[in-house]
Amino acid sequence: MGFFYFLGRRKFYLHFLIAILLAFFILFGVLKSLDIYTQHGKVFLVPDFYGKTVEQLVEDHYEEYFELIVIDSVFDNHHDKGTILMQNPESGSKVKQGRHIYFTVVAQMPEKTKMPNLKNLSLRQALVTLEMNKLSAGWLNYVEYFARNAVIDQVIDNETIETGTEINAGTVIDLVIGKGKMKVKVPLPLLIAKKPSEVGKILHYASLNKGKEYFLDGDDTSHARVYKTEPNIQNTELVKLGQKVNIWYRSDEQFDFDKYLLQFISDTLSGDTTQFHN
């Protein structure tokens, strides 16, 4: 009887209302604090930091928005030391303030490696060994020698480089290679639509050298693709060992390489040497 009597009093409902309001304000305060702490609904687009240094990003006050962290450095003689090569998250990503941005930068000091012994290896074995030791193959100089595609000498600036010599990673090594007893010619590989970074490797594995390069749509190599070669695979069956192949590039942003490659292959298979133009 006393309980129901208490429910009928105004004082009960007043206290009940105060409790509800207090719980609401506490919950609102907690949620608001979480929003402020987590930056809820507030995001930033990650800029493209490629080619810049972390010092430049600090000068531009990017550390006020992101936590800038260098996690790796690699040697690259095509870019300035300390510049950013890769980032994670990538540019254009939506992140909250204070997000960690991880960078791979160009090493300040070149990485060192030791010159492997390439003598008496086959050309293919030598190319693989150079790549494993972070070195690059340069000019293939074919000379009279009984074993075809056997490495006779390993050279830097026309001087033999001895096995075990410490050199910079990325150093270009020229190879002196045997022609073999019989005169042999090799087919041209199909290079159309290949990137500049792929061309040299493909030619080397075909026992050929890269000649002159021409960029018809500017110097932006990131979008450059092989447009034509000289000799031309369509009208040249075989070429001699070590033959120079000149390369012309066009930009895949300005030229339809899918259509061009299909037409090129079709013309090559049909024996039609008429050049296709966009």
φ, ψ (nearest 5 deg) of residue 133: -100, 15
Is residue 169 very low, low, confident or very high in pLDDT (cuts 50, 70, 90)? confident
Q: Is the model more confident about 85 or about 77? A: 85
Q: Look at residues 239, 178, 236 and name the one whose alpha carbon lies nearest to residue 206.
A: 239
What is the separation of C-alpha 95 from the centre of its chain, rounded to a whole number of angstroms? 24
Please write the tens of the pLDDT for every residue from 96-119.
888 999 999 998 888 889 999 999
Q: Look at residues 131, 137, 245, 141 and name the one whose alpha carbon lies nearest to residue 187.
A: 245
Contact by Cβ (8 Å): 103, 66: no
pLDDT given for residue 177 in this prediction: 97
Is residue 221 very low, low, confident or very high in pLDDT (cuts 50, 70, 90)? confident
Contact by Cβ (8 Å): 92, 46: yes
Tokens of 86: 């890769």
Which of 182-186, 226-230, 238-242 is predicted least confidently? 182-186
pLDDT given for residue 10 in this prediction: 65
Q: How far apart are CA 242 and CA 257, in angstroms?
A: 28
Q: Is the model more confident about 54 or about 16? A: 54
Q: Which residues pair with 214 in a beta bridge?
A: 248
Q: Which domains does the chain have, with CATH numbers?
A: 44-106 (3.30.10.20), 112-182 (3.30.10.20), 184-278 (3.30.10.20)
Q: Is the pLDDT of residue 209 over 50?
A: yes
Say which residues have a Cβ less than 8 Å from residue 89's Cβ, sequence separation at least 6. Answer: 46, 95, 99, 101
Q: Is the pLDDT of residue 147 over 90?
A: yes
The span from the first CA to the last CA of the chain, in angstroms, equals 96
Strand, coil or helix: what is 89?
A: coil
Is residue 275 very low, low, confident or very high in pLDDT (cuts 50, 70, 90)? very low
Is residue 274 very low, low, confident or very high in pLDDT (cuts 50, 70, 90)? very low
pLDDT given for residue 215 in this prediction: 95
Q: How far apart are CA 186 and CA 208, in angstroms?
A: 9
pLDDT given for residue 163 in this prediction: 97
pLDDT given for residue 245 in this prediction: 97
